[in-house]
Amino acid sequence: MSAKTTPADVDVRGRDISFDLQAARGGHWLGGDPVGTAVFNALSLTFPDGERMFMDAVRHYRGELKGKLAEDVKGFIAQEAIHSREHHVLNQLIDRERYPVAEIEAAVRERVTQGRKRGPMAMLMSTIALEHFTAMMAEMHMAHQDIFEGVAPDVERLWRWHAMEETEHKAVAYDVFMEVTKGWSPFLRYRRRAISMAIITFMFTRNITRYAARLLEADGYSPEAALKAVKAYVWKTPGLFSRGWRSYFAWYRPGFHPWDQDNRPALAAWKAEFDAAVTAKAA
Ligand SMILES: [Fe+2]
Ligand SMILES: [Fe+2]
């Protein structure tokens, strides 16, 4: 067992919440901004298949896990399953007549299929790297909520709930990786995770940029202008991929663990809000 794990008081559990996403139908739901909407729609389109792959990646190692980690994995799978479900709903609301949604979904499916063919360990490595990315974006979401200003309440809540649970479970796949590779040398583990991150960083940022640019073309942008606008959004302002560079690079520290960055205090209010939503639903 590695020395560092998900903290004992972080209880990873699915919150079965459904959101009323109708306000996202057909339009630029992100505050009327076509570029931001394209980027977040591109992310959303990768979630259902991507998150199912994450679930299967950890599920494969379930038999080797015990105690809190086994419980956390159960919670991780529950959370990602509900994320997939709700993002699927959002994805259905994108105007398919206008936007090349089917084309993007097919591209995502193809990537995930290729990833699955590389076997369970490669899937787990991709999962821990992508989970680091989502945790970084969730952290940025917490620090810069202004991006979601002017967004319909339930659509805003969907993204905030997702960001909150991504933070909560940010180390679960990583903890699985550390447990099932405990027989590896520290150098091998480090090398594998550094290489995986480098590859995932390249692929993930490139793919999201491409998908978002394709969506933006349907809004009337030329291919060049679409690509330029999306790149400015993700790398400059607001800098969805670049703003969290400190958190991103922490990955390359030997001995890194996702909870080295302890954001439990920052998470507390959101957690209370969504815990209450689940309780209210059950009542
Ligand atoms: Fe998720
Ligand atoms: Fe996740």
pLDDT, tens only, 157-168: 999 999 999 999
8 Å CB contact between 173 and 54: yes
Query: Do the domain assignments include residue 280?
Result: no
Query: Do the domain assignments include residue 98?
Result: yes
Query: Do the domain assignments include residue 238?
Result: yes
What was the pLDDT predicted at 1?
40
Averaged pLDDT, 132-137 = 96
What was the pLDDT predicted at 102?
97
CA of 186 to the centre of ligand 2 (A): 25
CA of 132 to the centre of ligand 2 (A): 9
CA of 185 to the centre of ligand 1 (A): 30
pLDDT band at 3 (very low <50, low <70, confident <90, very high): low
What was the pLDDT predicted at 280?
84
Percent of the chain with pLDDT over 90: 96
pLDDT band at 2 (very low <50, low <70, confident <90, very high): very low
pLDDT digits (tens, 9 = 90+) for 35-69: 999 999 999 999 999 999 999 999 999 999 999 99
pLDDT band at 282 (very low <50, low <70, confident <90, very high): confident
Asked if residue 107 has pLDDT above 80, the reply is yes
Query: Do the domain assignments include residue 16?
Result: no
Query: Which structure tokens are listed for 13?
Result: 């559990």
What was the pLDDT predicted at 274?
96
| Structural domain that includes position 223 | 22-271
Q: Which ligand is closest to the CA of 128, given by its number?
A: 2
Q: How far apart are alpha carbons 234 and 153 in whole angstroms?
A: 24
What's the pTM value of the predicted model, to 2 decimals? 0.96
pLDDT mean across residues, the chain: 95
Averaged pLDDT, 251-255 = 96
Could you tell me which residues come within 8 angstroms of residue 237 by beta carbon, excluding any fewer than 6 positions away? Answer: none
Q: Which ligand is closest to the CA of 174, given by its number?
A: 2
pLDDT digits (tens, 9 = 90+) for 144-194: 999 999 999 999 999 999 999 999 999 999 999 999 999 999 999 999 999
CA of 164 to the centre of ligand 2 (A): 10
pLDDT digits (tens, 9 = 90+) for 212-231: 999 999 999 999 999 999 99
CA of 6 to the centre of ligand 2 (A): 14
8 Å CB contact between 16 and 165: no
Averaged pLDDT, 243-266 = 95
Query: Do the domain assignments include residue 116?
Result: yes
CA of 136 to the centre of ligand 1 (A): 13
Q: How far apart are alpha carbons 55 and 127 in whole angstroms?
A: 9
Query: Do the domain assignments include residue 249?
Result: yes
CA of 89 to the centre of ligand 2 (A): 18
CA of 239 to the centre of ligand 2 (A): 21
Query: Do the domain assignments include residue 10?
Result: no
pLDDT band at 235 (very low <50, low <70, confident <90, very high): very high
CA of 119 to the centre of ligand 1 (A): 21
Helices (H), 60-185: 67-92, 101-117, 120-143, 153-168, 172-180
Burial of 231: CB neighbours in 10 Å, binned 0-12, 13-18, 19+: middle
Q: How far apart are alpha carbons 202 and 198 in whole angstroms?
A: 6
Residues, Cβ < 5 Å to ion ligand 1: 80, 83
Residues, Cβ < 5 Å to ion ligand 2: 166
**For the chain, what is the domain count?**
1
What was the pLDDT predicted at 281?
79
Could you tell me which residues come within 8 angstroms of residue 17 by beta carbon, excluding any fewer than 6 positions away? Answer: 82, 86, 161, 274, 277, 278, 281
CA of 131 to the centre of ligand 2 (A): 5
CA of 225 to the centre of ligand 2 (A): 32
Averaged pLDDT, 268-278 = 93
Q: Which ligand is closest to the CA of 136, given by its number?
A: 2
Query: Do the domain assignments include residue 4?
Result: no
Asked if residue 100 has pLDDT above 50, the reply is yes
